[in-house]
Structure 1
Amino acid sequence: MASLFSCSIFSGKIKTPDYTASQQYSEGKFRNQKDFNMNDSGTIARIAWRYMTEKRVDASPAGDIPLTQLNKEQLIAENKTGTALYRLGHSSILLATEGEFWLIDPVFSDRASPVQWMGPKRFHPVPINHDQLPEIKGVIISHDHYDHLDQTTIKQLSSIAEYFITPLGIGQLMLDWGVDQQQIHELDWWQHVNIGKLKLTATPAQHFSGRGITGGNQTLWASWSIETPDQKIFYSGDTGYFEGFKKIGERLGPFDLTLIENGAYDQDWSEVHMKPEETLQAHIDVKGKALLPVHNGTFDLALHPWHEPFERISELADAAGVKLVTPETGERLDVANMNGTSFWWRQLTTK
């Protein structure tokens, strides 16, 4: 049950402030625009049975994933101007714009799990240790699942990151982990904040939250519009496909680059994670120009082969005439001058 494990296992103490002013909050919980039940006992039992009985094919890479090591001096030197980003693995991104550095959903731990002795383990190391990072202007969080919000990482970053920008409710977790209240900005969908060189707008997503089997949806989930001085970037966070993408495109698009989840999908949780065909459609809906697929290549979180998301989205993008960018882990991607698809994963399959 790797995917559910990384999303919501073990009880966590989350206080619940009054969020009744939010249209997303009702009867003590945050809700999607569309109602569905993700954590019913029947679904969990079916998923558990499939993990125990289905034969796996290429669950992990057949070799070392290509990786570029990063360090503070290099990052500062090559990012004095313009906007660039580095994939750190899964959905973790280091964003540099005009000399400022930002992190998106950073997870530096070895496992996407509440404990480090079990749970989904990395296929590759992080290309930079937290103590080698330059000063971080801000940390952007999409939701509270373990593969996107890591307690150890947040504690490590609390002294080198100036701000933490989160959806509603996650600020309390930050406070519990030692982040100062003055560093935290909580946003509801469609609210925005201007910090440093960026304008950040929390946008809708279709997902769920919780760091325990019970007591879920006490915090909100979000996608993000990220506006730099010269470009606009969309980050989907975790989400199923829904009509909200079109509204995001209408209100905030077009986007020069989209970072959209493409991995850990399955028919048993299709409401909260997208198939590659839906990833492509979401990119089109938000009026994206180039697509960088994320939420893949680092953790084993579903029953499909680890490389399948890359292959499927590259075929779909090619057929649709959509520019796909697939940088290696740690490779610098200049947002103003993006190279196309690099099929680096093909050397690591058993075919």
Structure 2
Amino acid sequence: MFLGFVLTMGGSSMHNQMVVRNEPMRKNFRNGRFRNEEAMPLGTSATFFGLLKRFIMERKVDASPDEALPVRDLDQEQLRQLPNDSLFVIRLGHSSVLLKVYGEFWLLDPVLSKRASPFSFIGPKRFHRPPITVADLPPIDKVLISHNHYDHLDKATIRQLKGKTRQFLVPLGVEKNLIDWGVRPTDILSFDWWQELNVGQGLIAFTPARHFSGRGLNDGNSSLWGSWVIKTPDESLFFSGDSGYFHGFGQIGRRYGPFDLTMIETGAYDRDWPEIHMTPEQSVQANIDLQGHTMMPIHNGTFDLAFHAWYEPLERVARVADERNVRLATPVPGDILNMRQLVTGTRWWQSLMPQERSLASA
């Protein structure tokens, strides 16, 4: 389990004429490594051996569900029949999201493999099947990647997608991974923070996050990480990728908000890494900073990546959203959300919680 955690957390061919450089962020790159705008002092116990001791000694409670989680199966014909005059959002699990943007299919951080790991036999394993396989997806116009950790950038998924995807949008440095996996350089656009791409449906912008990158022992922060803004004439979406809480959410909200839907990391948090993942309370605050109308918690319910129970992120975020009058969308994987008639969904996880936990949270 610990090895899986370490591997998951991480141990250009840009078409410049297509990208508007608002504020080149070379100050976030020094000595061959990318940096956060806010310093990230690690917690005193967040050392390799400190975490190893916790993984060995600390008892985890309800780390994975005891029964199958609900999934709405999807097929290509069903997706094709969705109207082309609107925007649809479909959560696939963890942080993977499928969009139908006025007829085009886009993917955000697609990880559809059995494990979020470089290996097929070890590492965090899915709690539920994906609602659709890569083979069953329709042709994809764009794939947007937030950073290169294994639970956000999956080699097997990308290799399957390269033959059916027109364009990959990635942070600076991540293009090297894709090229190694056979994606053509001409199909990749690499972004620095605050760079924008004008598309037929509107605007895509790559915005900051407070996190880090790396897929091995020696490549830490050699590629960038961030979040994505998607704006059409009628809708505005935000996708957080992974991030600790920071002032950048307010900056993004002032520049690009308000947002009709924010997809915000809510899961895999812990006292030993507060700088790189948010608590559910911070996730709700990030939505408020972003001027989000509806928040969809992502980064939960698919992989065991921390010490908390699998349902805790959803339970805590629902409670604080109620307290702060924030509208929450909690679809099960495969649910189709129409941005023009946004249905928030039920609190489906509560029926799957152990009874004593459900009673305690009631």
Q: TM-score range by the shorter chain?
A: over 0.9
Cα distance in 2 for residues equivalent to 1:5 and 1:165: 23
Asked if 1:260 corresponds to 2:274, the answer is no
Q: Is the contact between residue 8 and residue 146 of structure 1 (CA under 8 Å) also seen in structure 2? A: yes
- Match for residue 215 of structure 1? 219
Displacement of 1:316 in angstroms is: 0.4
Q: Report the AA paired with residue 299 of structure 1.
A: F
Residue 346 to residue 158, structure 1, CA distance change in 2 (3 Å): same
- Match for residue 304 of structure 2? 300
Displacement of 1:133 in angstroms is: 0.6
> Mapping of 1:32-111 within 5 angstroms?
32-36=36-40, 43-111=47-115
DSSP-derived class of the 2:238 partner: strand
DSSP-derived class of the 2:204 partner: strand
> Mapping of 1:1-351 within 5 angstroms?
1=2, 2-9=4-11, 22-36=26-40, 43-351=47-355
Once the two structures are overlaid, the 10-residue window that deviates more, 341-350 or 39-48, is 39-48
Cα distance in 1 for residues equivalent to 2:83 and 2:5: 35
Displacement of 1:251 in angstroms is: 0.7
Q: Report the AA paired with residue 211 of structure 1.
A: R
Cα distance in 2 for residues equivalent to 1:277 and 1:312: 8
Once the two structures are overlaid, the 10-residue window that deviates more, 127-136 or 193-202, is 193-202
Displacement of 1:241 in angstroms is: 0.3
Q: Is the contact between residue 3 and residue 264 of structure 1 (CA under 8 Å) also seen in structure 2? A: no
Displacement of 1:339 in angstroms is: 1.6
DSSP-derived class of the 1:297 partner: coil
Q: Is the contact between residue 138 and residue 161 of structure 1 (CA under 8 Å) also seen in structure 2? A: yes
* CA offsets 1:62-89 (integer angstroms, 9 cap, x no match): 2111101111111010242201111110
Displacement of 1:41 in angstroms is: 9.6
Displacement of 1:341 in angstroms is: 4.5
Cα distance in 1 for residues equivalent to 2:51 and 2:340: 42
If the length of structure 1 is used for normalisation, what is the TM-score?
A: 0.94
Displacement of 1:55 in angstroms is: 1.1
Displacement of 1:228 in angstroms is: 2.3
Cα distance in 2 for residues equivalent to 1:41 and 1:243: 25
Q: Is the contact between residue 7 and residue 216 of structure 2 (CA under 8 Å) also seen in structure 1? A: no
Q: Report the AA paired with residue 287 of structure 1.
A: Q
Cα distance in 2 for residues equivalent to 1:82 and 1:295: 25
Cα distance in 2 for residues equivalent to 1:229 and 1:180: 31
Displacement of 1:56 in angstroms is: 1.2
Runs of 4+ in 1 over 3 A off after TM superposition: 37-42
Displacement of 1:314 in angstroms is: 0.4
Q: Report the AA paired with residue 123 of structure 2.
A: G
Aligned residues: 342
Cα distance in 2 for residues equivalent to 1:320 and 1:41: 32
Q: Is the contact between residue 314 and residue 341 of structure 1 (CA under 8 Å) also seen in structure 2? A: no
Displacement of 1:198 in angstroms is: 4.3
Once the two structures are overlaid, the 10-residue window that deviates more, 212-221 or 31-40, is 31-40
Cα distance in 2 for residues equivalent to 1:42 and 1:100: 43
Once the two structures are overlaid, the 10-residue window that deviates more, 208-217 or 286-295, is 208-217
Cα distance in 2 for residues equivalent to 1:303 and 1:5: 16
DSSP-derived class of the 1:23 partner: helix
Cα distance in 2 for residues equivalent to 1:208 and 1:293: 20
Cα distance in 2 for residues equivalent to 1:339 and 1:52: 42
* CA offsets 1:4-48 (integer angstroms, 9 cap, x no match): 331214xxxx9xxxxx97221011100001222559996121111
Q: Is the contact between residue 100 and residue 197 of structure 1 (CA under 8 Å) also seen in structure 2? A: no
How high is the sequence identity, in percent, across the aligned residues? 47
Unaligned runs of 5+ in 1: 15-19
Cα distance in 2 for residues equivalent to 1:45 and 1:54: 13
Residue 5 to residue 164, structure 1, CA distance change in 2 (3 Å): same
Q: Report the AA paired with residue 77 of structure 2.
A: E
- State the Cα RMSD in Å: 1.7
